[in-house]
Chains A and B, each alone.
Chain A
Amino acid sequence: MSLVDNRKKFTFGRKLLSLLEGYYSTYLWARDHVAPQEGSSIIDALKVAGYVKTISAIIDNMKSSPRRTKVKKACRSFELEGSDTGILFTHGFGANPEIFRDLAEYLNKETGFTCRVLRLEGHGTSVQDMERTNFLDWYKSVELHYKELSSKTKEIILLGHSMGSTLSLLFSAYNTCKAVITISPPLDLPRPDAKFLPLITWIKRYWPTKESEAVKYRKRGHYIYPKRPLKCVTSMFDLMSVTRKRLHKVTAPLYTSVGLKDPRVPSNNIELLLSSVSSSIKRADYFSQSTHSIHLGPEKDEIKGNILTFIREL
């Protein structure tokens, strides 16, 4: 057995011991104070131990961890200066503005438009900070950057990836924009367990990020949270529900795309989007080799070209 395996075994043993330690010490206390009494037994002592352990576990779950609100340098919003037409980029759930660096630079160079990549509230800071936000805060982030960008540009194109595209769609239902461009927009995810999320949140606060996903992000030089607050995941589902009911209000020209290998957003979301919006110009692209982040995957050049063509045709 290798050293790593031994260490794992040792850690497991330590965890098991610490788990039993509470029961054992409570048992000792109960044996001395409860068991010798008339009519009591070891079972009574163990019952007592169980309740003590439960109370201590609940109190332990409340332990607060420091909330870091300072935005990491590599996660800040940025802007690429250009003409009086602006493109407002909105990233997805748990991501940060850097995922749009390539696309923003490409569109800025090719079209000359001002490109602003916003950071959603609670992203790029800490998990504890993100936990305090919900989709209303994220919507306000889009609103704030939209206002700032509209003060220096005449027209704005909204571009979003994943949850950012859902936010862009919702925002375009209430605000004027030249066009909406969405990449892998989640609108109706096939997760029947999502309805239990609010209940699960009471017991479990965070869900760890998949290691394979974290590695993929780190390889690209992007920061990603090691775990995600389940409260925010619930809020993302709320956002989808709110957006679905307002899709008919979207009248701006629409470009949308989805990867056929996307494990999160199935392609029927695109069909739902196209059939619900009131836009006169609609265009959808399906990418056979791509997963969720099409603009970072093997077909990134194709999607960049397609978005550029769509913008030029407006």
Chain B
Amino acid sequence: MITLFRKPKPGQAPRRLTLHILRCNPADPASKPYLQAFELEEAEGMTLFIALNEIRATQDPSLQFDFVCRAGICGSCAMLVDGRPALACRTLTRDYGSDITLAPLPFFELIGDLSVNTGKWMRGTAERLQTWIAQSEAVDLDALEARMEPALAEAIYELDRCIECGCCIAGCGTAQMNENFVGAVGLNKIARFRLDPRDTRSDAEFFELIGDDDGVFGCMSLLGCHDICPKDLPLQTQIAFLRRKMAVEGWC
């Protein structure tokens, strides 16, 4: 239904929501995944984050899910909402029907219930792709840093807004088939450091990091990442840009 029509009219009784949550505890070998239904009353402006906290506080303290910032900045509370990756803290219950299914993000190591270890994968990918500023000469910490055009700084900052929530990986068809794929988050980081004038790596060196089927040439341009990214990062443009650069590098 169109969101506008879902807004409760003044005086209207609040909706009863049923959250169907995929429960599983991988630490317990006897645990088998199952959907558990929790009912609660919808409140004005309720997010899934608020609903989950209410369930944990009043119905089941063993429910596992992650959150830190409640404001779409930390990237901890990503989960599948009715099958699509989203941040629980930025998902309003009023945008959904009265039955909402929640499941952990696929692809990542499951900690329990809705909690997954995105951090472990993100760190591994960062190390694999060397997503830091690589400089060919020793940095003189006493020297003034070279100036950067504001437009360039803005462009770098735009890509730096990634919160590593894992939604792009969960929304990526390639990643579901190839667990070694670096995903949009990895490619976006390479695009970010390639843009940075302080990073002295050449395209030949970037090719060594992403110039294969686990990198940019594995991407099938399904664009789930771009359409799902909660931070609206320009992933489509960045991946296409890297593909062009790496194709030139690889062809020669």
A and B: bona fide binding partners:
no
Q: Which residues of A contact B (CB under 8 A)?
A: none
